[in-house]
Amino acid sequence: MSLLEINNLHVKVDDHEILKGIDLRVNPGEVHSIMGPNGSGKSTLAQVLARRESYDVTRGSVLFGGKDLLEMKPEDAACEGIFMAFQYPVEIPGISNAYFLRSALNAIRKYRGEEEVDAMDFLPLLREKAKLLEMDEKLMNRSVNESFSGGEKKRNEILQMAVLEPRLAILDETDSGLDIDALRIVAKGVNAMRSPERAMIVVTHYQRLLNYIVPDFVHVLVGGRIVRSGGPELALELEKQGYAALEVEARKAASLA
């Protein structure tokens, strides 16, 4: 049994079908990359897995750890072990990063019947992870993402991932808006989280991130379908050739269907 099983997933938004039959199997320890041109449905896939409710699943199924993921509310999916690093992390004024993260950790622990962490015990844990992501401790006392630069926001996402220790981490265009240095730090954090018990789905536009976070599998999403799958070399191929050829192929296939 895979950790994540997506079968023939069709997703609609406002009467517009975005995902047209996705099949995917992800096992613990694996890092899968989903690449594709704009509008291909990459973010939609990520959001559906994170259980954003504005998406309409019209067909297909998704099992996470053997359980029906599509039946779960976002918080339940999170407690089951799904984490999404957002492309555009929001700000929550008045709530410190530290308080928020500890609350999230405790919500998950409570769900699992584990003991909660108090503020005193949480601090060293947070400090350790902040160091890994080269984030100033002082940022933890600021409101969530408040006045954070783009790079700080993305690092904060990975910091949260490091604290919450998910079974499946979905990184939604984590590299967008990052300079090389920030990219390096984010990748360091992500790679430090790689483990035989953990799976990752890295959604990205550009091949560059995959130089730092080398995936085990690459899938190319075009027009709502996975048109090609392969190993890390597929990403390099795409970088050379672009998506154009695959887009043409996909359009042909769609018109025949």
User: Judging by beta carbons within 10 Å of its beta carbon (0-12, 13-18, 19+), is residue 257 exposed, middle or buried?
Assistant: exposed
For residue 75, state whether it binds another protein (rule: CB under 8 A). yes
Nearer to another protein, 144 or 227 (CB): 144
* 203, 43 Cβ separation under 8 angstroms: yes
For residue 4, state whether it binds another protein (rule: CB under 8 A). no
Residue from 7, 61, 143, 176 in contact with another protein (CB under 8 A): 143
Q: In angstroms, give the least distance from the CB of 83 to another protein.
A: 8
Choices 26-34, 102-110, 121-129, 201-209 (CB under 8 A): range interacting with another protein = 102-110
Q: Which two tokens stand for residue 162?
A: 């490091």
Residue from 57, 107, 117, 236 in contact with another protein (CB under 8 A): 107
Choices 4-12, 93-101, 124-132, 225-233 (CB under 8 A): range interacting with another protein = 93-101
Choices 1-9, 101-109, 237-245, 247-255 (CB under 8 A): range interacting with another protein = 101-109
Choices 75-83, 178-186, 189-197, 238-246 (CB under 8 A): range interacting with another protein = 75-83
Residues 6 or more apart whose CB falls under 8 angstroms from that of 124 comprise none
Residue from 164, 185, 190, 238 in contact with another protein (CB under 8 A): 164
For residue 78, state whether it binds another protein (rule: CB under 8 A). yes
Nearer to another protein, 66 or 93 (CB): 93
Nearer to another protein, 92 or 192 (CB): 92
Residue from 55, 64, 86, 122 in contact with another protein (CB under 8 A): 86
Nearer to another protein, 103 or 195 (CB): 103
Which chain residues interact with another protein by CB under 8 A? 50-52, 54, 73-75, 77-79, 83-84, 86, 88-90, 92-95, 100-101, 103-108, 110-111, 116, 143, 160, 164
